[in-house]
Amino acid sequence: MRFSGLRVLREGLTGNKGWKPHWRDPEPKSDYDIVIIGGGGHGLATAYYLAKRYGMKNVAVLEKGYLGGGNVGRNTTIVRANYYLPGNSEFYSHSLKLWEGLEQDLNYNAMMSQRGILNLFHNDGQRDAVIRRGNAVVNQGDDAEILGREQLRELAPFLNLDNNRFPIMGGLLQRRAGTARHDAVAWGYARGADRHGVDLIQNCEVTGIDIEAGVVKGVQTTRGPIRAKKVAMAAAGRSSQVAAMAGMRLPIESHVLQAFVSEGLKPIIDHVITFAEGHLYISQSDKGGLVFGSYLDFYSSYAARGNLPMVEHTMETIVAMVPAVAKARLLRSWGGIMDMSPDGSPIIDRTHIEGLYLNCGWNYGGFKATPASGDCFAHLIATDRPHEAATGFRLDRFETGYGLMDEEATGAQHNLH
Ligand SMILES: Cc1cc2nc3c(=O)[nH]c(=O)nc-3n(C[C@H](O)[C@H](O)[C@H](O)COP(=O)(O)OP(=O)(O)OC[C@H]3O[C@@H](n4cnc5c(N)ncnc54)[C@H](O)[C@@H]3O)c2cc1C
């Protein structure tokens, strides 16, 4: 079933009776070439590119809950390519290019909206860092502009530029950045993978990884054992627990990050805006709700819900940045489990066990990485060589100390990245 304007029109005129489920609901087979653990954005994108680019169709994605029920459906949907460090910058640049063609590629409306991201800065040090970052982004071939206060006043008149504690000096604008509808991205990749023959198995928790003489043989699941020549871990916040099934201890901590949505308001905020002093990021959804978030809760947890101190901090920051929203009511909030690495950058690598592959360490920023992560992980699984856009995401950098990508320069403190 292909989607098109004509199809929508026809279904609208005939009572919407012709729509079919977007993917099959198969029983797990006893044997696959490749098993992917985790039906989030990264696992589904990996399955899609494995089937589409490498013709590998005897693939299963095993998801312990429902597809898109993890962080891929819980994030604040920001997509951008404005990283500074080599290693990260080319990867996110590759990702943004994939985002730009994703809806056509998947034949799925992911509501990709290149509304631009504006990173505000408040002091000389931040300004210098932002200018360096902007230059790096332009050099990598993406767009970046530095804006002064007068340009900001015109672009975003609701900003409290003269906030007493954190006056706003300017901003870094990337026009090609923006948002995409998070769960539609999961559904689009799921439908695409299914159309290429991948089995998407929901309510199937992996409980063990079978290894014989250093070679992976398959997995144990709540729906029975499944043999596989290759097993790929893409379990995001649960990565440490899944890798522990293979006897591995990952350099990953799991932390809670919260997101918030206000009641629907008339259009006010056109861009994604970030406020450096409170680490606030905000955009407005098509339904009018302000979608925003800030820091982690600052301690490790597997609870997918947040705590009040960070709610209070986030509300203080949003009012400092945009006083006009002080009267808006908060509609809902939730939490997701982040897989935090010591340098804040991800891991896409083989492991010391033959046939076992690892994708994790996405911190706050794995949604924007979804297409490139899937593409690069599929390349690694299919060819056993890293994709050229992801050569820096090695697991052993935390053992050797060589090749760390500490984008935020906050050191080996998971909770600060
Ligand atoms: C509140 C919040 C806001 C965020 N905002 C942004 C943002 O604006 N921009 C951005 O780029 N990133 C953002 N992120 C980060 C981004 O959402 C994550 O980095 C990314 O979604 C992680 O990859 P994933 O989609 O594959 O994870 P998930 O969707 O969590 O997928 C992992 C899946 O693995 C499954 N799983 C775990 N264990 C097992 C098992 N044993 N067996 C089978 N399945 C298992 C889980 O159920 C889950 O579905 C945000 C995250 C949160 C929580």
Instruction: Pick from 82, 311, 364 the residue to mutate for probing ligand 1's pocket: most ligand atoms within 8 Å of its CB.
Output: 364
Which of the 8 DSSP states describes residue 354? B
pLDDT exceeds cutoff 80 at 417: no
Q: What's the chain's average pLDDT?
A: 95
Question: What integer is the mean pLDDT of 193-204?
Answer: 98
CA angle 229, 373, 47 (to 5 degrees): 40
Radius of gyration of the chain (CA): 21
Closest C-alpha to 177, from 280, 77, 90: 77
pLDDT of 88 > 90? The answer is: yes
Count other Cβ atoms within 10 Å, centred on residue 196: 17
For the Cβ of 368 lying below 6 angstroms from any atom of ligand 1, the answer is: yes
Please give the Cα distance from 18 to 1 (Å, whole number).
9
Q: Compute CA distances 5 → 2, 12, 68, 95, whole Å.
A: 10, 11, 26, 27
The CA 216 to ligand 1 mean position distance, Å, reads 25
pLDDT at 49: 98
CA 65, 67, 69, 70 torsion-angle sign: positive
- CA–centroid distance, residue 38 to ligand 1 (Å): 9
Determine contact, residues 360/233, Cβ cutoff 8 Å: yes
Q: Does residue 189 line the site of ligand 1, with CB under 6 A?
A: no
Write the CA distances from 375 to 64, 381, 405, integer angstroms.
Answer: 23, 10, 21
Where does the pLDDT of residue 201 fall: very low under 50, low under 70, confident under 90, or very high at 90 and above? very high
CB of 96 closer than 8 Å to CB of 180: no
The answer on pLDDT for 368 being more than 90 is: yes
Beta-carbon contacts of residue 285 (< 8 Å; ≥ 6 apart): 261, 291
Q: How far is the CA of 361 from the centre of ligand 1 (A)?
A: 10
Q: Determine the Cα–Cα distance for residues 41 and 359; give it in Å rounded to an integer.
A: 12
Beta bridge partners of 120: 171, 275
Could you tell me the pLDDT band of residue 409, with boundaries at 50, 70 and 90? confident
What distance in Å separates the CA atoms of residue 57 and residue 263, rounded to the nearest whole number? 43
H or E element, residue 93 = helix 88-106
pLDDT value, residue 164: 85
State the closest ligand 1 atom to the C-alpha of 281, by its place in the atom list counted from 1: 8
pLDDT digits (tens, 9 = 90+) for 209-248: 999 999 999 999 999 999 999 999 999 999 999 999 999 9
Cβ neighbours for 299, distance < 8 A, ≥ 6 positions apart: 255, 415
Q: Is 63 in the pocket of ligand 1 (CB under 6 A)?
A: yes
Which residue type is seen at 351?
A: T
The closest-lying atom of ligand 1 relative to the alpha carbon of residue 205 is 42
**Alpha carbon of 20 to ligand 1 centroid (Å):** 27
Q: What is the pLDDT of residue 276?
A: 86
35, 42, 71, 92, best to mutate for ligand 1 pocket (most atoms within 8 Å of CB): 71
Among 194, 223, 203, CA closest to 24: 194
Q: Whose CA is nearest to atom 52 of ligand 1?
A: 75
Mean pLDDT score, 38-58:
98
Q: What share of the chain is helix, strand, coil (3-state, %, to 5)?
A: 30, 25, 40
Task: Give the residue, out of 61, 62, 117, 367, with the most ligand 1 atoms within 8 A of its beta carbon, to mutate for a pocket test.
Answer: 367
Residue with tokens 């919407």: 16
Q: Whose CA is nearest to atom 18 of ligand 1?
A: 366
Task: pLDDT band for 204, please (50, 70, 90 cuts).
Answer: very high
Report the nearest atom of ligand 1 relative to the CA of 186.
Answer: 25
* pLDDT band with cut points at 50, 70 and 90 for residue 415: confident
- Kindly report, residue by residue over 349-363, the tens digit of the pLDDT: 999 999 999 999 999
71 lines ligand 1 (CB under 6 A): yes
| Residues 364-379, mean pLDDT to the nearest whole number | 97
Task: Supply the pLDDT for residue 30.
Answer: 97
Per-residue pLDDT, 414: 83
Tens digits of residue pLDDT in 258-267 = 999 999 999 9
pLDDT at 83 over 80: yes
Residue 250: exposure state from Cβ atoms within 10 A (0-12, 13-18, ≥19): buried
User: Is 344 a pocket residue for ligand 1 (Cβ < 6 Å)?
Assistant: no
| Tokens at 232, concatenated | 């790929």
**Residue 165: what pLDDT?**
85
Cβ–ligand 1 contact at 242 (below 6 Å): yes
Whether the CB-CB separation of 360 and 175 falls below 8 Å is answered with no
Residue 114: Cβ within 10 Å count: 16
